[in-house]
Amino acid sequence: MSSKGKIPRSSASRDGVKVEVCCGENCSARNSQKVFDTLKKEFENTEKCGCLGNCGKGLNVLIDEKRILHYSKEHNIVERVKSDEGEVFKRFTEEELTDDFLKDI
Ligand code: FES
């Protein structure tokens, strides 16, 4: 299965969507607080989270623990959350977290 592409979601599930805005060091440096404030107004179930292991593509937003949205200045983040856009999210295991990665968080 490809790690990219759209993930089918029903429109009914969008009302209760769980949104997590990465507020790790790298995403915070890219103004994740402003993105969090914007999404919190639109989606009740919006929380902050720690590093998602995708710092190079951040800032990052995790939707329903399944798909991840990376920074894009061309597209509105609220519309992106409402759409089926995003990549399949894979949480790193401890074995996959190398020392090199840990220096980044
Ligand atoms: S700090 Fe956001 S993905 Fe690492």
The enclosing domain of 76 has a CATH number of 3.40.30.10
Percent of the chain scoring above 70 in pLDDT: 77
Distance from residue 83's CA to the centre of ligand 1 (Å): 22
Contact indicator for 64, 18 with CB cutoff of 8 Å:
yes
Residue 13 CA: distances (Å) to CA of 9, 10, 26, 62, 86 = 7, 6, 30, 15, 16
Percent of the chain scoring above 90 in pLDDT: 62
> Is the residue at 68 inside a domain?
yes
pLDDT at 10: 41
> Is the residue at 4 inside a domain?
no
Task: Please identify, by atom number, the ligand 1 atom nearest to the C-alpha of residue 26.
Answer: 1
> Does residue 60 have a pLDDT over 60?
yes
pLDDT at 74: 84
Site residues for ligand 1, CB cut-off 6 Å: 22, 24-27, 51-55, 58, 60, 105
Report the number of distinct structural domains present in the chain: 1
DSSP bridge pairs for 61: 21, 69
> Is the residue at 5 inside a domain?
no
Stretch 1-22: mean pLDDT? 61
> Is the residue at 42 inside a domain?
yes
> Is the residue at 78 inside a domain?
yes
Contact indicator for 32, 23 with CB cutoff of 8 Å:
yes
Distance from residue 32's CA to the centre of ligand 1 (Å): 10
> Is the residue at 28 inside a domain?
yes
> Does residue 2 have a pLDDT over 50?
no
Question: Structural domain of residue 71, as residue ranges?
Answer: 16-102
